[in-house]
Structure 1
Amino acid sequence: MPILDHLSEEITNIAEFQSFHNAWAVYIAGKLNEALPRGFRAKPHSQIGSWEVDVRTDRFLAEDEKEKLKIQYQIPTPSATAHVTFPTELEVFIVNVSHSTQKIVGVIEIVSKANKDRPQNIDAFVAKCHSILSQGISLIIGDLLSIPFFNLHNQLLGALEISEGKIEEKKEMPLYCSSYRVTFDVNEKPVIEFWIYALKVGDTLPTLPLFITSEIAVPVKLEEAYMETCERLKFFEE
């Protein structure tokens, strides 16, 4: 189904973006849990002004499980690959780990109005994403808000000192979804691979890879979760 204009009066009269935002995080987590192998789980996590989905694990994958998962989902070629240098000292972002044995392996950030309505909030969001990646955690960003017109993917690449792979900022394509993973080259230097999709109202949401190990990714089917969220909130009721 096409992406709706979540800032239009027609849609906000049914559900304010915050309500949609919260529900979408829940359905994304639910869809992910259908795809994740045993020992991995996704759950929505709320903070003031933002929602995210964490994928965490308390076990290692056996070799036969790895091979099965590789066959189930073929990872697409990344949009770009770039070497990065992470600072040796960086504030660690702690995300609601309920058991000490659990390790966060992936985070999905759904951009809210509060994430980009003022410079300090933009800086905070970018710093959080930077910190997530510096810990080797896979990251997905989804931004379905055309206003304020500001591209957080480009800002994150700037913070990572990556010059290529930025989304051309065009008023007619203000939305985007992006996925990132940290790997290492033969010299053990960190490298970021990322997948980017510039979007507009009316487009279909992509399926993005979320890496749960250095080799294994699960498909995050944003479109399926989006459709279910819209149906449950009765966006199409006559």
Structure 2
Amino acid sequence: MPLRDHFRSPVNDRHMWNELHFMWPMSIVRQLFDILPTGYASAPNVRTGQLFEIDGSAFELDESTGSKHLIGVGDRDAATMPLSPEPTLTLEADLSAQDEFEVRVYDTDRGRQLVAAIEIVSPANKDRPESRRAFVAKIETLLQQDVCVSVIDLVTIRQFNLCADLLDLVGRADPKLGPTPPYLYAVTIRSRKQSAKRSLLDVWHYPMTLGQPLPTLPLWLDTDLRVLLPLEPGYEETCRLLHIR
């Protein structure tokens, strides 16, 4: 079956995109159960970013002095406590957690060490420059820790390529992506250290097209050990269970 557009009609008339994103990681874990060699295990990790508002009742304004009364501090102590200096800058910032729809692969023989991560991109990962930077920074951190990272991007309503953003962050580019990198793609990236030299990044980039099958991704568990993960079976099984046609 072909890749569907989960963000536009007719699919999103009956199904929200997050139905697929919540369930697909578990389907990938089921696939990996038969693929991973002995000593390796995988697990899903799903978390959605939420905006939280600090409860204003946590502070009470002392009208007589204009100072803030700290909850949990006795009146006597508060009276002798010096006023804090005013901040040099106050601004609004979105520090909410990022969406995470991923599968993590661990080497259980090395104390459950993380060796690979499969990231499924959500619209929130691409909706603003700061969201894209946060996602790319996460990928960079994983690569610095010698974790192989695969990214699957089915988001049709945000036309950015996060792999291209990552390469731009490290001062490199992939000429094959062209001036307008495809926004539907799957990619695997791994870092290889060179003695007394900078690390090498190996990239396997697969553009995807609506109406076409999904690719097979290499997943590196160690320097010379990799498995192949076909995305199509897990994707189709998830769509079948959710009755997505």
Q: Same fold by TM (over 0.5)? A: yes
The runs of 5 or more residues in structure 1 that have no matched partner are 61-100
* Aligned CA distance change for structure 1 residues 126 and 169 (closer, same or farther; 3 Å): same
The runs of 5 or more residues in structure 2 that have no matched partner are 49-98
Q: Is 1:160 the counterpart of 2:170 in the alignment?
A: yes
Task: Report the Cα distance in structure 1 between the residues aligned to 2:139 and 2:179, rounded to whole angstroms.
Answer: 20
- Deviation of 1:220 (Å): 1.3
1:144 matched to which residue of 2? 154
TM-score, with structure 2 as normaliser: 0.75
The aligned runs of 1:3-22 (5 Å cut-off) are 3-22=3-22
1:192 matched to which residue of 2? 201
TM-score, with structure 1 as normaliser: 0.77
Task: Report the Cα distance in structure 1 between the residues aligned to 2:243 and 2:235, rounded to whole angstroms.
Answer: 12
User: How many equivalent residue pairs?
Assistant: 195
- Deviation of 1:50 (Å): 2.1
Larger Rg: 2
* Corresponding letter in the other structure for 1:52: E
Deviates more, 1:177-186 or 1:117-126: 177-186
1:151-207 Cα offsets, whole Å, 9 max, x none, are 111001111211235623659x53000001111346553111110011221121110
* Corresponding letter in the other structure for 1:200: T
Q: Is 1:122 the counterpart of 2:98 in the alignment?
A: no
Task: Report the Cα distance in structure 2 between the residues aligned to 1:4 and 1:122, rounded to whole angstroms.
Answer: 23
- Whether the 8 Å CA contact 1:45–1:54 is kept in 2: the answer is yes
Task: Report the Cα distance in structure 1 between the residues aligned to 2:178 and 2:17, rounded to whole angstroms.
Answer: 25
- Whether the 8 Å CA contact 1:50–1:114 is kept in 2: the answer is no
The aligned runs of 1:48-197 (5 Å cut-off) are 48=48, 49-59=99-109, 101-165=111-175, 167-168=177-178, 170=180, 173-185=182-194, 187=196, 189-197=198-206
1:49-69 Cα offsets, whole Å, 9 max, x none, are 221110001216xxxxxxxxx
Relative contact order (alpha carbons < 8 A, sep ≥ 6): 1 or 2 greater?
Answer: 1
Task: Report the Cα distance in structure 2 between the residues aligned to 1:11 and 1:19, rounded to whole angstroms.
Answer: 12
